[in-house]
Structure 1
């Protein structure tokens, strides 16, 4: 009997609206566990998740039947509802429109996992804006500045 065999690893990156520093260390672990549950309930494998006060990175092992845009939309919608319904921040929480998605080979996973797990240390030296532009250039993704995140400098 034939089957479908795949190896798809995607890093998803998205930011808090206007890159506001609303993700607090006091509840980020709960947020990350909640997002892990969403990914798993959709039949995908979350390899690692981490971020800073204004954005997150998620590395997902995906099945070819999964629609990435639907998965990200569900993650953003459900996590926004969690944060706002539990009043985890005194301000209205929203994720910014859009996201980055970058694919990796199996041989790169250890390096990518380490990179994501060290986000807080990494961002002591480099801003999210610098990091995001670096991803777009490294992966040779054509873009126009006006369609990127709303940057507040």
Structure 2
């Protein structure tokens, strides 16, 4: 999943710094492309990754992301 999330970010024009997480959530540190709002970026990441994971195996057909998300702004010097 993490590798695919990195690909999505790159395809959307976001510079990925880090991606990680655990079984039930992910953390992504990325720039925000000028062409997308924060909510649009998250929506596109969730949409593409959900569609992709459902193609991997029948047991993932019921996969979905939670409705909301948390987002924080950090400066380059904090990375």
State the TM-score, normalized to the length of structure 2.
0.87
Alignment partner of 1:59: what SS?
A: strand
- Structure 1 segments of 4+ aligned residues over 4 angstroms from their partners: none
Q: Structure 1: give runs of 5+ residues left out of the alignment.
A: 1-30, 110-153
2:52 counterpart residue number:
82
Q: What's the secondary structure of 1:57's corresponding residue?
A: strand
How far apart are the structure 2 equivalents of 1:94 and 1:65?
26
Residue 90 of structure 1 aligns to a residue in which SS? helix
Please give the secondary structure, in 2, of the residue aligned with 1:104. coil
Change (3 A) 1:78 1:65: closer
* Residues 82 and 65 of structure 1, relative CA distance in 2, 3 Å threshold: closer
Q: For each residue in 1:40-86, what CA deviation from the matched residue of structure 2 results, as whole angstroms up to 9, or x when unmatched?
A: 11111010000001000000022344311111111111111111111
Distance, in Å, in 2 between the alignment partners of 1:64 and 1:75 is: 16
Q: TM-score normalised to the size of structure 1? A: 0.47
The match for 1:96 is: 66
Structure 2: 5+ residue stretches without partners: none
Number of positions where the alignment pairs a residue of Structure 1 with one of Structure 2: 78
Partner secondary structure for residue 71 of structure 2: strand
Q: Which moved more, 1:93-102 or 1:33-42?
A: 33-42
